[in-house]
Structure 1
Amino acid sequence: MDDIVFIHGNALWSLSGGIPSSFSALSGTLHKLNLSRNALSGEIPPFLGAFPWLRLLDLSYNAFSGEIPASLFDPCLRLRYVSLAHNALTGPVPPGITNCSRLAGFDFSYNRLSGELPDQLCAPPEMNYISVRSNSLSGAIAGKLNACRSIDLLDVGSNHFSGAAPFGLLGLVNITYFNVSSNAFDGEIPNIATCGSRFSYFDASGNRLTGPVPESVASCRSLRVLDLGANALAGDIPPSIGALRSLSMLRLAGNAGIAGSIPAELGGMEMLVTLDLAGLALAGGIPGTLSQCQFLLELNLSGNQLEGAIPDTFNNLTYLKILDLHKNRLVGGIPVTLAQLTNLDLLDLSQNQLTGPIPSELGNLSNLTHFNVSFNGLSGRIPASPVLQGFGRSAFMGNPLLCGPPLNNLCGASRRAKRLAVSVIIVIVAAALILIGVCTVCAMNIKAYMRRSKEEQEGKEEDEVLVSESTPMLASPGTQGSNAIIGKLVLFSKSLPSRYEDWEAGTKALLDKDCLVGGGSVGTVYKATFENGLSIAVKKLETLGRVRSQDEFEQEMGQLGNLSHPNLVAFQGYYWSSSTQLILSEFMVNGSLYDHLHGSHHTFSGNSTGVGLSWQQRFKVALGTARALAYLHHDCRPQVLHLNIKSSNIMLDKEYEAKLSDYGFGKLLPILGSYELSRLHAAIGYIAPELASPSLRYSDKSDVFSFGVVLLEIVTGRKPVDSPGVATAVVLRDYVRVILEDGTVSDCFDRSMRGFVEAELVQVLKLGLVCTSNTPSGRPNMAEVVQYLETVRTYS
């Protein structure tokens, strides 16, 4: 082994375990050590720093843990490049790295490093490559990195750096790659005095940058990627950006202060593949010149205030896969030329002011996985194409003049009335008057008959809806045997027994603590079983005076009784008295989603020893709950807000179908004031941030936030707020965001989900994060959530 100067682990079988101490015998000869892409683990041995001739050290893509040994860079006489990327290393970047006088670059990305970067990081004069992406490093770095005058690549993305970004490097002639994304940098992007001829990648997205997009960026003619999205930039989009002929991606999305119009000059970027201007404040029309960007794969102009018509020249974008124009003010019809975009995966034109029919030719877009034209002014029959029909009702809702499947609006007969001759109209009117007379006589006879029938059965009906105080659930001490009527029982379901004796036996459950099955901010739930074996859930409300009268209570219950959806727990009746209010509903034999995700032995590791749900079952629950909420938000008039969504309110029937409970209790929930903190404490982790505001501007987006938390709960198996230690608490959505920033998304998954379709898990996880955005405007509505989940599903 004395003569070995180079070891390349990739030429061997996959290695595991630690680096053997016998390697130390090579210290006098080894020049290059490459053990990347193996399964090596344990700590990096300190003796690797005693290799005086070592020039390259590559231990990337392994499972090394612990801190980077300080001795690794001592004496470090000839080391040129070191890569420890994609491991599980912790602790700081060793300050001794600045002693490597010949070091040209290092890659410590995708680890768990923390602390600040060393002060003299750029002391090695040839330092040209620095990558610490996806760690937990922090502090100010501009002063440290602006001194790197030979830098070629800088990637500090996805950390916690703050202060000014090291924009001083942008003017260097050697710079090719500059990534400072997903940090907390602030300040403005300066003008770039000179731009290197090889500068191709500029990503400063996901920070707190302010000011305008500098026009000087247009001088960087070699740029291929320009991503300044998710900041606080303002002003107009410089038209001069259109001169960047080599640009393949332009992303400014999520800068709500960027206004003005879309420059027509952007059509000159002939190599553009992605144009993302979503979530800005752009107005005016969509320039037809964009159709000259013939290589576009993604065009996202959603969430603006764009007006005018959709250009009918977009058919020139033959490679286009994503066309997202939703949430604008676009008018006119849907161009039939869009049907020529045969590669489209996503077409979203929802929430505009489009009119006219849906072109039947769109049904030929066989590659579509997402299609939405909801909430426009479209009219006519929905094309019968299986491609379009498969996206369900949510893709078309909010268009009152649309008809035909999958909507419930039936299309009328052909409208030839305008062409009828006047004489024909007269004949029809005369016939109609005769028919009305006949119907009037018949109606009077039927009404007289019904009045007699009602009088005959009036006493019997009263006995069926009124309950005497001798019923055990209503009785108070000293009233046994009394026949005074003290309450009213109304049944919505014909399957429930109507005889008083049946209710007398069944409702004894309310005196039996063994029949207590749950409780919450609204009331206590009992299981009541009748002699015929039928069981129902009886919720005894704790209204605390919030229901002021019987009329108010019955009005609320009557509205709930009219709601019907396969994924809602069905109301079956109610009872009212001055001292007791009860709600009767289906009894769910499989308990709640909370029971199955967490059980009584749930641990912080996300595992449960209770009954587990498969991914197929969990996904079905997520989709069913989303459909129930979409029904309450979009199909009910007036809109029904839930305001108490959590996994314990999502019940499971015998087929493990989701049934949302406690809906429509807005007036029965604790008053949103001084009382809410104590009563809603059990819902911590589900409550949207806006509900903490004194103005309490809650809306349907508050429900979306809570549903997003449930999605995260389903994928991770963790509680919304967990306490692994006595003095610590972990909020689920914050935990997931941190894990995703580290690039180890699979660490988020419930262990029992490993081996399932991870692509679906990732998509649902990311949807949960979108739904839990801090601002309501950043969250989708429930119709959009349903649409997204339906595209994720890969099984029937």
Structure 2
Amino acid sequence: MQSHQPPSFSQADGVTRKLMRLFLFPFLVIILTTSPCTALNEEGLALLEFRKSIISDPFEALASWNSANETPCTWFGVICDSEGNVNRILLQGKGLSGTISSSLSRLNRLRALVLSNNSFSGSIPPEISLITTLWKLNISENALSGPIPDELGALGSLRMFDVSGNFLSGPIPATFFRICSRLRFVDFSRNNHTGSVPARLGSCDRLEGIDLSHNRLQGSIPEELGNLKVLGFLSLASNALSGSLPQSLGSCVSLTLLDLSMNMLSGQIPSTFTNLRNLSRFSAGQNLLSGIIPAEVLYHSALQTLNLSFNALSGSLPTSVAGPTALKVLDLSANHLTGSISTSVLSLERLQFLNLSNNQFSGPLPSQLTKLISIESFDLSSNNFTGQIPPEIGRLRNLSVLRLGSNPTLSGVIPSDMCETSDLTVLDLQKMDLQGGIPSSLTGCRSLLNLDLSHNKINGSIPIFLTNATRMKSLNLEGNLLSGSIPESLGNLSDLEHLDLSINMLTGGIPSALGDIKTLLFLNLSYNSLSGPIPRNGALQQFNASSFLGNAGLCGAPLGVSCSAVIATRSSQRKKSHVLGASAIAAIVTTAVIALGVVVIFVMNFRALKRIAEDRVYESTPPSPEASPILGKLVLFSKTLPAKYEDWEAGSKALLDKDSVIGSGTLGTVFKTTFDTGISMAVKKLETLGRIKNSEEFEEEIGRLANVKHPNIVTMQGYFWSPTMQLLLSDYIPNGSLYNHLHQQDAGFGQLSWKRRFEIALGTAHGLTYLHHDCTPQILHFDLKSSNILLDHNFVPYLSDYGLSKFSPMLDTYVTSRRFYSTLGYVAPEVACQSFRLSDKCDVYSFGVVLLELATGRHPVENSDSNCILLCDAVRSALERGRGYSCIDPQLGSAPQSEIMQVLKLGLVCTSQMPSKRPSMAEVMQVLESIKSGNDL
């Protein structure tokens, strides 16, 4: 019988090894693979969670953030203290995007968190308030939005707080300053903050810097700010602050910079400001300040920059107080200052920038100007100076910008040594009484970028030496007595953007070399005696009739004049001229007299003939039943419209009925058509096709408007084309136009409250922004005016007549702009004064005029003593004189004037003369939205 023996050690060892392989090995694998993660400390895990919220790291700044490390102290941007705790996170300017994770609140030893100059979005996590050790928080220059969390007021250790350059909104919470004994610097600038300046700021007695600029803050400047004895920097610029400058600010004796510009502050400059002995920069420009300029402020010993421009300051320049001054920049432009330039100003040897323009200074220009040995920019334009330009002015060796223009009583000649020692870049001598020729001394002005000698009595020819200034960008010689030909060498000015030689006596042809200037954006050669064909090479191809008007001898495509016909006519005239005798001359004179009489009779009867012709449009008899009015192509964009011919026949017969006319405009007459189904529609009967030559171009142009759908835009419903009639079909909006309600209340249209006007402005901005920024390709309106803003029964605005610029009459652009735009005051200056170089900034200008129209209740153009006054110029002038509130429509009664003033200012920004200075419609809409939200609080 076989016996059972226990297994040997070797056998047991084999079994053990099998068990280890089966059960223990997987656990070892788990331990070995997971041990690095479990080794990372809590702060590292918090940072990895922060990293998960980042969706873009273009520079791989966080590539070193490895979970295999025991601590994050070796990671990029992470700095630890001697005990291994995360002390600072410095990730500025790394292009990071995403949100800021609340996991950062677990870094309970963190001193500095710097995430500036990235693209973080979302809100500021309130959990950051749990980092009680935080000294520095800088999350500026991102895309953060929403309010400042109240919880951040618990950061009692905070020294520096910077959230500038975001999209934060709501008020600056007063609770943020409830524990601020250690706070040194706060920056809330360039956001959308509303409300007032917190008076609690005055309790943060260690504050050295405050920047609340470029927000939408309202109310007055708190007197409590005067408690801040160590405050060195205070900027409240670009808000809507009102009231007077507080006397208490004079107690901030440590101030070195004080910027209160671009608000609505009024009253006088406080006398206590003379106590600010350390102040080096003081700016209060673009406010409503009045009174005189204290001498102690102007000639302050430490002051280097003083900007009080665009206020209502009066009186003369104060005389100097004893002691040297450090003033380098002095801008007192656009005030009501009078008198002459005081000798005290001329003794400012360190002065580099002096702007006294747009005041009422008078008297001769002092010859002691050479005392200004450091002057670089000198602007005395738009005053009432008399006498001549002192020749000494050319000896200012550092002078770069000289503006003396718009002093109509400054006469004489241009000094012969104008560029003797200086490197002038800008020379503005426009609208004066200068005579003589252009002196050869300008040969030395090789650095000139801008030369403006327009509207003088300068004679002679255009000197070739002007082309020595090879970097010149703008040359304006308009409105002089210049003769001779246009120098071919002007084509060598390869950087030239603006050339205006209009209203002179220039002869000869247009040099084709001008076409070589690739940078040329503006060209005006109109009203001279130029002749020959208009070159169409290079840059000259972009300009049309408005650049060449008033030159009877010119021919070519822009003017629609055939050169061959002109040559034939002249040849015939030359042949006839050889056989003219006394009798022929007498016959010509007699014929001219008769022709003149015919012209006079024609002019006298033209208006009557025009009225008869217009009446005949409506007196046409309806077509017979056999002759269907549908003889062309009907295209409907909506399936809800009646498609039966008999419905359209019934509707189209209304076009022959004078009673169905509801309006007329630049492009034609508008009729209201109602079908048997009850649907009403607006039908525009085009009276011009402009640049459209055939049905294909017509359909292409209208077809691109078929997909325009927006709550503030009239929907295009279709079109009809035939060789003899072209119709545009669109929704009928029943409550008239904005123009009707603003200017025709005596005709039964209702008065508009400010709230309703503002909503109309906002809705119009939404529609125009859609056309500019959401349509591909971009759609320009180019005929925006209050009569093209239609209102429904709820006063919701609708833009009409958009995207139809190609249908403008086939006239030269000068006549077109004058007839259909300039008389209405909506046209941007670059359209009225040069060729049609369309851009969305033209619409922005027109919208700015509409804003001014809404705020003032006035027409865009008004007549006064046979002069036309543009509304934008009148409002701008009133604001410069400190009388902005007088522009507000009296019918608005108790409406919020501060809000209306904000809209007025926005309208003036939109109507800036230079297109580059106008905002986009998206920016305009954002400003209007911010004004609305500020008043909803």
CA–CA distance in structure 2, aligned partners of residues 708 and 498 of structure 1: 50
Flag the 1:171–1:354 CA change in 2: closer, same or farther, 3 A: farther
CA–CA distance in structure 2, aligned partners of residues 58 and 234 of structure 1: 44
Give 1:25's aligned residue. 179
> 1:135·1:742 contact (CA, 8 Å) conserved in 2?
no
Secondary structure of 2:482's counterpart equals coil
Counterpart of 2:781 (choices 618, 621, 628) is 618
Give 1:273's aligned residue. 425
Secondary structure of 1:347's counterpart equals strand
Partner letter of residue 112 of structure 1? M
Counterpart of 2:443 (choices 278, 291, 296) is 291
CA–CA distance in structure 1, aligned partners of residues 169 and 923 of structure 2: 26
> 1:599·1:609 contact (CA, 8 Å) conserved in 2?
no
Give 1:401's aligned residue. 553
> 2:302·2:326 contact (CA, 8 Å) conserved in 1?
yes
CA–CA distance in structure 2, aligned partners of residues 368 and 594 of structure 1: 46
Flag the 1:297–1:755 CA change in 2: closer, same or farther, 3 A: same
User: C-alpha displacement at 1:80, in angstroms?
Assistant: 3.0
CA–CA distance in structure 1, aligned partners of residues 614 and 346 of structure 2: 79
Segment of structure 1 superposing worse, 12-21 or 38-47 = 12-21
Cα offsets for 1:42-78 (capped at 9, x unmatched): 333222212333333333344433321111112x333
Give 1:686's aligned residue. 859
CA–CA distance in structure 2, aligned partners of residues 535 and 88 of structure 1: 43
Counterpart of 2:202 (choices 29, 49, 70) is 49
Counterpart of 1:133 (choices 273, 281, 285) is 285
Segment of structure 1 superposing worse, 250-259 or 355-364 = 250-259
CA–CA distance in structure 2, aligned partners of residues 57 and 488 of structure 1: 71
Counterpart of 1:725 (choices 875, 892, 897) is 892
CA–CA distance in structure 2, aligned partners of residues 394 and 184 of structure 1: 38
> Which structure 2 residues correspond to residues 568-587 of structure 1 after superposition, within 5 A?
none
Cα offsets for 1:107-158 (capped at 9, x unmatched): 1122232222212221233333211112222222245634634322111112
User: C-alpha displacement at 1:89, in angstroms?
Assistant: 2.4
CA–CA distance in structure 1, aligned partners of residues 734 and 339 of structure 2: 46
Flag the 1:508–1:319 CA change in 2: closer, same or farther, 3 A: closer
User: C-alpha displacement at 1:15, in angstroms?
Assistant: 6.0
Partner letter of residue 175 of structure 2? S
User: C-alpha displacement at 1:34, in angstroms?
Assistant: 4.2
Question: Percent sequence identity over matched residues?
Answer: 31
CA–CA distance in structure 1, aligned partners of residues 405 and 458 of structure 2: 15
CA–CA distance in structure 1, aligned partners of residues 449 and 537 of structure 2: 25
CA–CA distance in structure 2, aligned partners of residues 59 and 150 of structure 1: 25
> 1:5·1:32 contact (CA, 8 Å) conserved in 2?
no
CA–CA distance in structure 2, aligned partners of residues 593 and 265 of structure 1: 68
User: C-alpha displacement at 1:625, in angstroms?
Assistant: 11
CA–CA distance in structure 1, aligned partners of residues 474 and 321 of structure 2: 34
Segment of structure 1 superposing worse, 607-616 or 400-409 = 607-616
Give 1:607's aligned residue. 761
Give 2:638's aligned residue. none
Secondary structure of 1:313's counterpart equals helix
CA–CA distance in structure 1, aligned partners of residues 369 and 734 of structure 2: 52
Cα offsets for 1:258-298 (capped at 9, x unmatched): 11111121122542111111222211111232232222111
Give 1:515's aligned residue. 660
Secondary structure of 1:53's counterpart equals coil
> 2:332·2:355 contact (CA, 8 Å) conserved in 1?
yes
Counterpart of 1:67 (choices 203, 220, 224) is 220
Secondary structure of 2:375's counterpart equals coil
User: C-alpha displacement at 1:82, in angstroms?
Assistant: 2.0
Give 2:921's aligned residue. 754
Cα offsets for 1:402-451 (capped at 9, x unmatched): 1122222222389799999xxxx99x99xxxxxxxxxxxxxxxxxxxxxx
CA–CA distance in structure 2, aligned partners of residues 171 and 743 of structure 1: 45
**Which one has a bigger Cα radius of gyration?**
2
> Which structure 2 residues correspond to residues 293-312 of structure 1 after superposition, within 5 A?
293-312=445-464
CA–CA distance in structure 1, aligned partners of residues 296 and 735 of structure 2: 49
Secondary structure of 1:264's counterpart equals coil
Partner letter of residue 381 of structure 2? G
> 1:157·1:183 contact (CA, 8 Å) conserved in 2?
yes
TM-score, length of structure 2 as denominator length: 0.53
> 1:232·1:255 contact (CA, 8 Å) conserved in 2?
yes
Secondary structure of 2:337's counterpart equals strand
Secondary structure of 1:379's counterpart equals strand
CA–CA distance in structure 2, aligned partners of residues 510 and 620 of structure 1: 24
> 1:331·1:355 contact (CA, 8 Å) conserved in 2?
yes
Flag the 1:525–1:179 CA change in 2: closer, same or farther, 3 A: same
> 2:483·2:504 contact (CA, 8 Å) conserved in 1?
yes
> Which structure 2 residues correspond to residues 467-486 of structure 1 after superposition, within 5 A?
none
CA–CA distance in structure 1, aligned partners of residues 179 and 244 of structure 2: 29
Cα offsets for 1:708-745 (capped at 9, x unmatched): 99xxxxxxxxxx98566247899x99987744778998
> 1:176·1:201 contact (CA, 8 Å) conserved in 2?
yes
Give 1:180's aligned residue. 332
CA–CA distance in structure 1, aligned partners of residues 613 and 237 of structure 2: 69
> 2:360·2:384 contact (CA, 8 Å) conserved in 1?
yes
Determine if the alignment matches structure 1 residue 111 to structure 2 residue 263: yes
CA–CA distance in structure 2, aligned partners of residues 257 and 148 of structure 1: 34
Give 1:282's aligned residue. 434
Give 2:519's aligned residue. 367
Flag the 1:536–1:162 CA change in 2: closer, same or farther, 3 A: same
Flag the 1:124–1:386 CA change in 2: closer, same or farther, 3 A: closer
CA–CA distance in structure 2, aligned partners of residues 302 and 609 of structure 1: 42
> 1:112·1:742 contact (CA, 8 Å) conserved in 2?
no
Partner letter of residue 515 of structure 1? S
Secondary structure of 2:514's counterpart equals helix
CA–CA distance in structure 2, aligned partners of residues 122 and 512 of structure 1: 76
User: C-alpha displacement at 1:391, in angstroms?
Assistant: 0.7
Give 1:259's aligned residue. 411
Structure 1 stretches of 5 or more lacking a match?
Answer: 430-486, 539-562, 568-584, 648-656, 658-682, 710-719, 762-796
Give 1:9's aligned residue. 162
Segment of structure 1 superposing worse, 163-172 or 150-159 = 163-172
Segment of structure 1 superposing worse, 305-314 or 594-603 = 594-603
> Which structure 2 residues correspond to residues 654-733 of structure 1 after superposition, within 5 A?
685-686=858-859, 691-693=863-865, 697=866, 702=868, 705=870, 725-726=892-893
User: C-alpha displacement at 1:5, in angstroms?
Assistant: 7.6
Determine if the alignment matches structure 1 residue 377 to structure 2 residue 540: no
CA–CA distance in structure 2, aligned partners of residues 295 and 608 of structure 1: 46
> 2:283·2:307 contact (CA, 8 Å) conserved in 1?
yes
> Which structure 2 residues correspond to residues 201-240 of structure 1 after superposition, within 5 A?
201-240=353-392
Determine if the alignment matches structure 1 residue 244 to structure 2 residue 396: yes
Flag the 1:14–1:416 CA change in 2: closer, same or farther, 3 A: closer
Segment of structure 1 superposing worse, 318-327 or 506-515 = 506-515
> 1:723·1:729 contact (CA, 8 Å) conserved in 2?
no
Flag the 1:327–1:170 CA change in 2: closer, same or farther, 3 A: farther
Instruction: Report how many aligned residue pairs link the two structures.
Output: 593
Give 1:78's aligned residue. 230
> Which structure 2 residues correspond to residues 451-470 of structure 1 after superposition, within 5 A?
none
> 2:683·2:729 contact (CA, 8 Å) conserved in 1?
no
RMSD of Structure 2 on Structure 1 (CA): 5.5
Flag the 1:174–1:726 CA change in 2: closer, same or farther, 3 A: closer
> 1:165·1:180 contact (CA, 8 Å) conserved in 2?
no
> 1:61·1:87 contact (CA, 8 Å) conserved in 2?
yes
Partner letter of residue 686 of structure 1? H
Segment of structure 1 superposing worse, 89-98 or 199-208 = 89-98
Structure 2 stretches of 5 or more lacking a match?
Answer: 1-131, 136-156, 580-610, 628-649, 692-724, 742-749, 773-778, 786-803, 827-835, 837-855, 875-886, 929-937
Cα offsets for 1:198-227 (capped at 9, x unmatched): 210101112222222222222212111111
